[in-house]
Each structure stands twice: as C-alpha cells, then as structure tokens.
Amino acid sequence: MGAFDNLGRLCESQAISADDTASEDTIDLVDVASQVGVGTPVYLNIRTAVAPTDTADTLSIEVQVDSAVAFASPKIVLMPLVGANGAEIAGTDARLLTAGAWIYRGALPFETNERHLRLMFRNTTSNGTFTIDAWLSATPPDSDRGVEILTSPVGNP
C-alpha cells in the first residue's frame, strides 16, 4: 500500500483462532477524517495474510464503532460479509485459501459516525486459525496485488 494512502492499521498478520477476537488495533476516526463518508471516502481493506489451517472453519467480520476506546457498547456497522447477521465466509472460499486475496475492499458507510473503529472477527467453529491483514486507506487498492497509485488532483499543462 502507498505510504501516503495508509490511514491506519487495524491488524497485520493477526491470527484469528478464538470464537471472538477484536482487531489488534483500533482507529481514532477523529485522526483519520472529521466526517467519514462525507466528501472523500475512506476505504476499508481486508485480506488474507496466510491461508486457514482448518478449511472446515467459517469466519465472519463485524465493523464496530463506539464513542469510547474501551468499546463498552459498540455499534455494529453492517457491510457485505460483515456483521452479526452478515454472511459467514467458509474456510474453503477462494478469498481465504489464497494469501493476499481480498476478503473485502470498499468505502466505509456513512453510518460509521462514532469516534473509534475496530473489527471483530468471529471464527465460529474455531478449530483452526485464520490470519488477516486489515487497514484503512485514502484510496482503494488498484489491483488484486494490492498496488495503490497515488494520483494528483493537478492537471497536466
């Protein structure tokens, strides 16, 4: 990912083996953007770092926001493949079987309007381990290899 595009890391090669595991890091959205979803979008990028150790496992991912960093009463922001009622991803899904494959990449929704953001991973059978990378960026990844291009708003003469 481009150095200027990285707005915050949620996890890097984080092993998900327990039933419920929060992302290694939380992001203070005040530092990222004053109004996520208004004006320039902020992108959530989630990909597989290492293929799962047990393909019989399933994974779901919630994007959680809260006004307090302790996440005493988190609000779940539902997105594709994300959330308590979202679809679980089977361990046999191509997005999980290939290191570097994208699980999700897209703009954060407007409802992400609390101060702190984290991911909650749910390995529903928890026999094996998923290993995940996740971060926020100012631009979406340009390709499946994760290459991002920094563009300039200045036109050519």
List the one residue out of 34, 113, 123 whose CA is nearest residue 77.
113
- Render pLDDT for 133-151 as a digit per residue (tens, 0 to 9): 999 888 776 655 444 444 4
Structure tokens at 17: 């083996």
pLDDT given at position 48: 93
* pLDDT tens digits for range 76-111: 886 656 555 567 888 888 888 989 999 888 888 777
Pick from 37, 29, 43: nearest CA to 142: 43
Average pLDDT of the segment spanning 64-85: 79
What span, in angstroms and rounded, lies between the C-alpha atoms of 33 and 44?
13
